[in-house]
Amino acid sequence: MNVILEYYIDKVMKMSVPLYQYIKEQLIEIIQDQAANTPVQSERNLAMEFRASRMTVRRAINELVDEGYLYRDANKGTFVSDQSLLKRNTLVNSDTYSYKTLYFDVKINTENPMRKKLNARADEAVIHLFRTIKEDELPIGVEEIYIKRSELSDADFANVSKTKKVMDLLGTGTSHYTFTPELVPAKYASLLALRIGTPIIVTECLINTIQGRPLAYLRTYNNPENRVIEITS
Amino acid sequence: MNVILEYYIDKVMKMSVPLYQYIKEQLIEIIQDQAANTPVQSERNLAMEFRASRMTVRRAINELVDEGYLYRDANKGTFVSDQSLLKRNTLVNSDTYSYKTLYFDVKINTENPMRKKLNARADEAVIHLFRTIKEDELPIGVEEIYIKRSELSDADFANVSKTKKVMDLLGTGTSHYTFTPELVPAKYASLLALRIGTPIIVTECLINTIQGRPLAYLRTYNNPENRVIEITS
DNA sequence: TAGTGGTCTAGACCACGAC
DNA sequence: TCGTGGTCTAGACCACTAG
């Protein structure tokens, strides 16, 4: 009741978070200290407790299931998932990384092969960015970035060299990663503090708008000693 | 009308596909030859056409959005996504791969380090499997697999050496991948048709039940010439 | 102003599982 | 038998966009 009161205060004060969103947050709060496989209340009970319809509660629960917090067992109930491996992706998760831009430019009429990947005409402006990635002073990787100028707002363009995740500049869309094993290039070995001949993983990422227009191309040389690439799904 | 008739024939004949599922399939049929950004009919129109409620149509559309087929633009409409890069993951996509099992055994009381990863007691039976992966006679990779016997039904156990995707043996759960660059091990170089000293990507995958119990551990040595690791999201 | 997607309600019936 | 999640309906109001 306290719970639902809180929500309606928000609502009245025009914060106006959707109810299902509010219920999600409350459920996360409730389960976050619970052991895996703990049952959550039934949908009908939660609906009463939050003074919401069952469909609204279901929406909240469904999204938590999709996000890996809960799982359903038909005819039995809904339970807390094992969260020891919560969905994560070290390629995108950059909260603790620091970046140093070593090169920044906007080029027109260059012969760079990346233009083809971006499907950019010869006279289109393309942003070039080269930066190092560190975590606690340890070199994590070096990154070459190419972004189509025409896809960025002026505000985003002004921030581009400060941006951590290029994804954040762009709305929803698709990203396509490829992973290639290489020996560390001589020109990057010292930046990565790796010996010549060390095998590394190079990740390439092409980011498209949901409409199918290429937006950005990233090429990252990852230091295998300091950055373990991992993906949980 | 033809469309909805078909569905109800199915329904009467007890095929009993959920309506939202049927609508999904029909929508995929409709859009599969359409260009990106083509609008689909409004939810209200589709509801009339399928004689379904708007909420049911919404569910179908929502799932297609999650799966990357469609995208929404609030207050404007729903549109066909660019499908040139449909979600895929070459690590799991094994339709065209052929497997050859070189080693199969069930072991108890071994000193294998994989037992720790599987959290298996010393006296638990663990299935060991070693196999090569080929596509059109080209070596794609070699794979070491460890599966807890106790998590498999007798039927699954009988099929385990014929199984393509280990994931298929297990219900839903989480899988956690790590990617490591290595030089191809001498013992696998000839199986992979690679020269000694070639850098490769080794993927390790730990599969857990949704309850958090480890089920299987896979270690794959990927041939970079014949298998490009890629992930679209 | 008319149409769209976004949210929400208050019911309903079903199959299945545990008791 | 009772409670669960799975599916579905027929409405409703909102904010926003485009003509």
- Are residues B105 and B205 located together in one domain of the fold? yes
Domain boundary among A80, A113, A144: A80
What is chain A's mean pLDDT, rounded? 86
Residue A112, pLDDT score:
78
Domain boundary among B29, B53, B80: B80
- Are residues A207 and A151 located together in one domain of the fold? yes
Nucleotides of C under 7 A from a protein CB: 3-12, 15-18
Residue A87, pLDDT score:
66
**Is residue B128 in a domain?**
yes
Counting runs of H as helices and runs of E as strands, what totals does chain A give? 7, 9
- Are residues B70 and B102 located together in one domain of the fold? no
**Is residue A30 in a domain?**
yes
pTM of the shown model? 0.85
Q: CA gyration radius for chain B?
A: 23
Calculate the angstrom distance between C1' of C16 and CA of A76: 9
Residue B3, pLDDT score:
57
Looking at per-residue pLDDT, the higher value among A18 and A5 belongs to A18
* Strand D-contacting residues in A 116-175, CB cut-off 7 angstroms: none
- Are residues B190 and B113 located together in one domain of the fold? yes
- Are residues B162 and B55 located together in one domain of the fold? no
Average pLDDT, stretch A48-52? 93
Residue B191, pLDDT score:
94
Please calculate the CA angle A162-A191-A220 and round it to the nearest 5 degrees: 60
- Are residues B123 and B47 located together in one domain of the fold? no
Local structure of A34: helix, strand or coil: coil
Residue A1, pLDDT score:
44
Strands (E), chain A: 70-73, 77-80, 98-107, 126-135, 138-148, 173-183, 199-209, 214-222, 229-232
**Is residue B227 in a domain?**
no
Which of B87, B178, B183 comes nearest A228 by C-beta? B178
Residue nearest to nucleotide C18 (CA to C1'): A76
Task: State which residues form the domain around A9.
Answer: 2-80
B195 touches chain A (CB under 8 A): no
Domain CATH number, residue A182: 3.40.1410.10
Average pLDDT, stretch A212-228? 91
Q: How far is B91 from chain A (nearest CA, A)?
A: 11
Buried-exposed string A16-38: b where 16+ CB fall within 10 A, e elsewhere: eeebbebbbebbeeebeeeebee
Residue B1, pLDDT score:
44
- Are residues A104 and A63 located together in one domain of the fold? no
**Is residue A213 in a domain?**
yes
- Are residues A52 and A120 located together in one domain of the fold? no
d(CA A71, CA A86): 13
Q: Is it the case that residue A42 has pLDDT exceeding 90?
A: yes
A82 touches chain B (CB under 8 A): yes
**Is residue B92 in a domain?**
no
Least confident of A12-21, A40-49, A188-197: A12-21
Q: CA gyration radius for chain A?
A: 23
Phi first, then psi, for residue B67 (nearest 5°) are -85, 0
A44 CA: nearest nucleotide by C1'? D4
Residue B85 with chain A: CB contacts under 8 Å: 174, 176, 208
- Are residues A130 and A52 located together in one domain of the fold? no
Residue A223, pLDDT score:
96
**Is residue B231 in a domain?**
no
Structure tokens at B211: 């309850």
Calculate the angstrom distance between C1' of D5 and CA of B19: 17
- Are residues A122 and A74 located together in one domain of the fold? no
- Are residues B125 and B200 located together in one domain of the fold? yes
Domain boundary among A50, A80, A110: A80
User: What average pLDDT values come out for chain B (233 residues) when binned by 10 residues?
Assistant: 58 72 94 92 94 95 93 93 75 78 84 81 87 91 90 73 70 85 95 95 91 89 93 84
**Is residue B22 in a domain?**
yes
Which of B85, B175, B208 comes nearest A82 by C-beta? B208
The count of domains in chain A is: 2
- Are residues A56 and A119 located together in one domain of the fold? no
Domain CATH number, residue A69: 1.10.10.10
**Is residue B123 in a domain?**
yes
Q: What is the pLDDT of residues A114-132, one digit of tens each?
A: 888 888 887 888 989 999 9
Q: Is it the case that residue A94 has pLDDT exceeding 70?
A: no
A15 touches strand D (CB under 7 A): no
